[in-house]
Structure 1
């Protein structure tokens, strides 16, 4: 398990929550979010704050829970901060590496929820403020986290098609093979693929999460377009 240290996720959760709160506070609550047009800014806030509380509840109870969206109060900044703090406290109390229920059978630990919520939050912070930046190591971890999420997407299964995602600023590369059960992936910088997408690590996170189209795609265009369509959350 090649993840960042647990304390890094805890720090990033609170820091990213603060950045997100600043970004959404500058926008009208009823504005449609261009990168996820089915939501308004208020919906985005509710989603983030609910997600942190939902993850904390699962960690505390060690079982799947009904998901119900919570509406943020007037002081949404404090509410968002409280949700991040609640999740961090739940992970600390349980133990980052302690077993809990998750939807990813390869990572049945409390830390899975913290890592997943950090990267979900990063993407939604860019929804609110597309001009933001992201540390390269956190961005690379976000690429891996997203590919791990895609393992659960049946619609990304295939007949052996291969793709490579290359971080131009770090040299790291992730190789993906679409198989009948689902995708297989890992860091294999020298492996050949039918499609290669090259971008800075920050942009790869946004590309994989369909927040931006890549400017550099080499190889079989049909394979790439099939991946793009199948990667809808």
Structure 2
């Protein structure tokens, strides 16, 4: 966990409230950032994610069987119930409860404080995009979200088999608001450091909100600036998409 637990809970409360507020503008609106989804899809997906994490915190392991059949539930009522229960579950667990996570280095409930705050803010933006009412992401949360995508998701031990569909073979730097991450990637690894001196094939940079949403595929390339090899940027974007979908 990179930021204080209270900060993540505050962001989770605010962004989950905003998601519900925007969803009440209309559940049938199409979500441009998630082709084939409507706001109803976002609400149901996020509620199901919340319920899944509540069960993980309760059991200390992945729930099985999963998911439950929730098709008969009214989506906003389900969502309101799930987000209240998630906040309660996180507060009850605290940050040091041993539990299942997908992090190689953090097997505590604190992991889910961060992950749920970041999950929520991205889906909040999905709902906002559907109704063209997008609001900024907290700067510190956006920077932390960039770090999560790069160090945990891209930089995780997922590539050893070399079965990636995006075999990047380049060093790329991502920079936002004076913070930089350097990613040296090939087909079987991705090593992420905060080294700003290494030579890179390409750099992607911009406002923290824009960079985070670009990494999550919610913004296209026009939202960020790039320098260096366009091929390296494209290949890197493919690798990010592979581990964030």
Task: Give yes or no for TM over 0.5.
Answer: yes
User: Aligned match of 2:45 in 43, 47, 53?
Assistant: 47
Deviation of 1:152 (Å): 5.6
Q: Which residue of 1 aligns with 2:216?
A: 209
Q: Kindly indicate whether residue 198 of structure 2 is the aligned counterpart of residue 198 of structure 1.
A: no
Q: Which residue of 1 aligns with 2:21?
A: 22
TM-score, normalised to structure 2, is 0.84
Larger RCO (alpha carbons 8 Å, 6+ apart): 2
Q: Which residue of 1 aligns with 2:128?
A: 129
Where structure 1 has 5 or more consecutive residues not aligned to the other structure, the ranges are none
TM-score, normalised to structure 1, is 0.88
Computed over aligned residues only, the root mean square deviation of the Cα atoms, in angstroms, reads: 2.2
Counterpart CA distance in 1 for 2:72 and 2:113 is: 21
User: Aligned match of 2:60 in 53, 62, 87?
Assistant: 62
Give CA deviations for 1:177-231 in whole Å, capped at 9, x if unaligned.
1144432213334433211001100111101001112341111111111122233
Where structure 2 has 5 or more consecutive residues not aligned to the other structure, the ranges are none
**Structure 1 runs (4+) greater than 6 angstroms displaced:** none
Counterpart CA distance in 2 for 1:230 and 1:4 is: 26
Counterpart CA distance in 1 for 2:216 and 2:40 is: 20
Q: What SS does the aligned partner of 2:184 have?
A: strand
Q: Judge conservation of contact 1:164–1:195 (CA < 8 Å) in 2.
A: yes
Q: Judge conservation of contact 2:166–2:235 (CA < 8 Å) in 1.
A: no
- Residue-pair matches, total: 228
